Chain A
Amino acid sequence: MKAYKVVVAAVLGGLASLATAHAKLNVVCTTPDLGALAREIGGPLVEVRSIGRPNENPHFVEAKPSYIVALNRADVLIEVGLELEIGWLPALLDQTRNAKIRKGSPGRLNAGTVIQPLEVPAAAVDRSMGDVHASGNPHYMMDPERAKIVAQAITDRFAKVDVANAGAYADNLKKLLARIEAAEAEAKKLLEPYRGAKIVTYHKSLSYLADRYGLNVVNTVEPKPGIPPSPSHIAALIDQMKADKVKAVLIEPWYDRSVPELLAEKTGAKVVIVPLLVGGEPETQDYPSLVKLVAKRVAQTLGGGP
């Protein structure tokens, strides 16, 4: 009889702790950079989980069952959109059975719909062109201006889902925007001397960065988006980099470094690893520090530094 009571007490206690845990807004983001914004806007009022990890290519996240569990309990799902997650998010959502985050629900924010995308194909695309995103380039979080728009959209959505705390979210947003602006100003100052500098990137994931700071991406290591470099493309790229005097090859942390290093060796350019997502390196614990670190690293390389 005593044992029975203990069990009941334990179960009730467990349920009670579950209930208090649910008092927080449960937010799931598809990438760590969206997660970083959501965490700052929500503060202690939200519990944020990012599905993709900081050094994981967000195109190729594994649709692990544990993510189904996270999505099943989410109050809000924030996705990058523009088909970035097309290879894995639909498979998870099919099994999620959570009406709160269904398309069209207030709990579902597709951040790709609130910004102006770059590189929207003018004509119909097909797969012979590689992995071209029909709605535009989805790597917009590399641009602090667009990140500010996304932060605003996240705040609006939090306010809609959790009306009682709308004021707190708005206050947090104000602070976050100020920090992003400061980081952007610093980044601009660092990169201003290199306006128009010619660079090569691995994938098209740095187009927004180049656009914001006036860098000139003359080519990519991939011949077409998502297609690994072929020997003929590498040969042509070496000639082009020599002719254009390209000083930096910017690559994402998840790509094979052998080709960029070969390019560097043949042309005298330097390889810069650009952390695309918050948390990828110790110095990038939040979004403003990511903006600063990326700018610092690119500026150093273009300036001939180590």
Chain B
Amino acid sequence: MNKRTALALLATLALAGPWQARAEELTEEQIQQIIEKAKPYIEAEVQRRVKEELEKQKATERVAAPAPTPTPVAEPKPWTPSQPIPLFRAGPAYMNISFDSLINFGWSTEPEGLLNLGGHDPAQRGFSLSNEEIVFEGAVDPYFKGVADIVMSLDEDGETAVELEEVYILTTSLPWSLQLKGGQFFTEFGRHNAQHPHQWAFVDQPLVLNRLFGPDGMRNPGARLSWLAPTPWFTEALLTVFNGQGETAFSFRNEESIEIHGGEPVERGLRGPQDLVFVPRLATSFELGETQSILLGASAAFGPNNSGRHACTQIYGGDFYWKWRPENAEAGFPFVSWQTEGIFRRYEADDRMTPDDPPGSAVPLPDENLHDWGIYSQLLWGFHRGWVAGMRGEFVSGDDGKFESDLRVDRTRLSPNLTFYPSEFSKLRLQYNYDHLQQWGDEHSVWLQLEFLLGAHAAHKF
């Protein structure tokens, strides 16, 4: 009998109080009988203690083992090659990694995919993978948060395009309610521009954003300062400053600006701070009772464009978002939300020449101001847990200039859709687009979109 068993025996006898009390009057035979009777208990006790001891050892071996919980801890199974390797779990990870995929299937009466001009919209007939997004985010240290967002998509030839959509650092503890953001990020202009495709309520980008901010939205290397005003209700003032060059600064120094003004763009570098793009925004929010919230915003963007050496662009926008949700909503349903955004652009086009192609065909275009504007309004009704019916109406237009562009003609689009969310991590969306274009007439498209989300994806703001 080893020491443990002896201890266990003593413990068992100690527990067996009634037997102990009568011990003096018992004969040796009776004692023997009692011991025989107690044997299974003793054995069980021994087994329990040995197991406990082993578990204790295991627990101390595990680094920073959590305190023992009432739930039994399962035996760790030896790893086999067929098992997935868990790299990151929600708890102890330093970084959240997520992957979000949008898979589209659809058909349009327009065969070339020219109706949906957004870089991540379903446009081509049949299947398409338009937005496959990898997001890394987490606390850098006590002072910063870091986010990197890499988006891949397959073009119609099956080639993979990769873009660095957003990479930025965000301060978490500046004084006076200030916050600084630096890197490349979706400019906080209006409501829709700052959202990623998988947050959208429709499969495609609103037309007005398409026309004024380009296929990939307004996002350019820069910095943003934000201040939360000490008002009793939410008021945030933001100022973004960015380079304003390239396709993601569509209305500014953009190589492709010929689409906007018809002339050969001029070379125009950053000569000084006056050549940066400045984007002020003011947003305010208040609540109507316990169940309704309103968010109002006004934004503007000012910067140089490359139609000439001294030309500038001004963009103004207003946005409105209202949402109703009862207190006892089940998983966020039911709800009704209404979002409307209008944007106006004044584009100063300098004296310029049309492209000299074929040679000798170039003609001068006069100095003029090109005006473009558009509005969209969308109503969503989450009528049952997991189900959302949506309706979006849009109109875009522009004043006739000396240069007529497809991006300036009147266009109306109506998009009813229906979305089903099996869980927060997947969705299935069916959308019909009725399009009326001044140059082509009526067009119809139907798109089906499936989304899946893996990993820890940060929660979205209101």
Could you tell me if A90 and B327 are in contact, using CB atoms closer than 8 angstroms? no
Could you tell me if A97 and B425 are in contact, using CB atoms closer than 8 angstroms? no
Could you tell me if A134 and B89 are in contact, using CB atoms closer than 8 angstroms? yes
Q: Please report whether the interface of chain B is mostly helix, strand, loop or mixed according to DSSP.
A: loop
Could you tell me if B73 and A91 are in contact, using CB atoms closer than 8 angstroms? no
Could you tell me if A256 and B330 are in contact, using CB atoms closer than 8 angstroms? yes
Knowing A55-B328, A56-B327, say if A64 contacts B287 (CB, 8 Å): yes
Complex: A88 Cα to B287 Cα, angstroms: 18
With both beta carbons as reference points, the residue of chain B lying nearest to A59 in the complex is identified as: B331
* Total A-B pairs, Cβ < 8 A: 133
Report the minimal beta-carbon distance from B100 to chain A, rounded to whole angstroms: 14
Could you tell me if A97 and B293 are in contact, using CB atoms closer than 8 angstroms? no
Complex: A57 Cα to B385 Cα, angstroms: 13
Could you tell me if A56 and B228 are in contact, using CB atoms closer than 8 angstroms? no
Could you tell me if B290 and A66 are in contact, using CB atoms closer than 8 angstroms? no
- Answer yes or no: A120 CB below 8 A from chain B CBs: yes
Complex: A102 Cα to B459 Cα, angstroms: 17
Could you tell me if B90 and A66 are in contact, using CB atoms closer than 8 angstroms? no
The winner among A65, A91, A117, A121 for most chain B CB atoms within 10 A is: A65
Could you tell me if A134 and B290 are in contact, using CB atoms closer than 8 angstroms? no
Could you tell me if A97 and B91 are in contact, using CB atoms closer than 8 angstroms? no
Complex: A302 Cα to B354 Cα, angstroms: 85
Complex: A117 Cα to B68 Cα, angstroms: 10
Could you tell me if B329 and A60 are in contact, using CB atoms closer than 8 angstroms? yes
Residue of A66, A69, A90, A120 touching B293 (CB-CB under 8 A): A66
Report the minimal beta-carbon distance from A82 to chain B, rounded to whole angstroms: 10
Could you tell me if B173 and A68 are in contact, using CB atoms closer than 8 angstroms? no
Which residues from A are CB-within-8-Å of B462? 62-65, 91
Report the minimal beta-carbon distance from A142 to chain B, rounded to whole angstroms: 15
Q: Please report whether the interface of chain A is mostly helix, strand, loop or mixed according to DSSP.
A: loop
Residue of A55, A65, A94, A135 touching B91 (CB-CB under 8 A): A135
Residue of A64, A104, A135 touching B285 (CB-CB under 8 A): A64
Knowing A86-B459, A90-B459, A91-B459, say if A60 contacts B332 (CB, 8 Å): yes
Contact count band on B: 35 or more
Q: Kindly specify which of A5-13, A122-130, A151-159 makes contact with the partner chain.
A: A122-130
Residue of B74, B293, B329 touching A64 (CB-CB under 8 A): B293
Could you tell me if A87 and B459 are in contact, using CB atoms closer than 8 angstroms? yes
- Answer yes or no: B67 CB below 8 A from chain A CBs: yes
- Answer yes or no: A285 CB below 8 A from chain B CBs: no
Q: Kindly specify which of B22-30, B174-182, B257-265 makes contact with the partner chain.
A: B174-182
Residue of A66, A94, A99 touching B286 (CB-CB under 8 A): A66
Which residues from A are CB-within-8-Å of B425? 127
Could you tell me if A256 and B385 are in contact, using CB atoms closer than 8 angstroms? yes
Could you tell me if B69 and A120 are in contact, using CB atoms closer than 8 angstroms? yes
Could you tell me if A69 and B234 are in contact, using CB atoms closer than 8 angstroms? yes
Could you tell me if A56 and B329 are in contact, using CB atoms closer than 8 angstroms? yes
- Answer yes or no: B279 CB below 8 A from chain A CBs: no
Knowing A62-B293, A116-B70, A120-B66, say if A254 contacts B459 (CB, 8 Å): no
Complex: A66 Cα to B173 Cα, angstroms: 19
- Answer yes or no: B423 CB below 8 A from chain A CBs: yes
Complex: A104 Cα to B172 Cα, angstroms: 13
- Answer yes or no: A136 CB below 8 A from chain B CBs: yes
With both beta carbons as reference points, the residue of chain B lying nearest to A88 in the complex is identified as: B459
- Answer yes or no: A26 CB below 8 A from chain B CBs: no
Residue of A57, A68, A97 touching B174 (CB-CB under 8 A): A97
- Answer yes or no: B112 CB below 8 A from chain A CBs: no
Which residues from B are CB-within-8-Å of A72? 177, 228
Could you tell me if B386 and A97 are in contact, using CB atoms closer than 8 angstroms? no
Could you tell me if B70 and A254 are in contact, using CB atoms closer than 8 angstroms? no
Could you tell me if A97 and B285 are in contact, using CB atoms closer than 8 angstroms? no
Per-residue 0/1 for B219-242: is the Cβ within 8 Å of any A Cβ (1 yes, 0 no)?
000000000100111101000000
Which residues from B are CB-within-8-Å of A168? none
- Answer yes or no: B37 CB below 8 A from chain A CBs: no
The winner among A53, A69, A123 for most chain B CB atoms within 10 A is: A69
- Answer yes or no: B72 CB below 8 A from chain A CBs: yes
Knowing A60-B331, A95-B179, A127-B423, say if A134 contacts B385 (CB, 8 Å): no
Contacts A/B (CB < 8 Å), 18 sampled:
A62-B293, A62-B323, A62-B325, A63-B459, A64-B285, A64-B293, A65-B283, A86-B90, A87-B424, A91-B459, A91-B461, A92-B461, A94-B172, A97-B174, A119-B71, A121-B71, A122-B72, A254-B328
Chain A residues within 8 Å of B, Cβ to Cβ: 53-57, 59-60, 62-66, 68-69, 72, 83, 86-92, 94-95, 97-99, 102-104, 116-124, 127, 131, 134-136, 211, 226-228, 253-256
In the A-B complex, the 9 residue pairs with the closest CB atoms: A122-B74, A65-B234, A65-B285, A99-B173, A91-B459, A254-B328, A55-B328, A120-B69, A60-B332
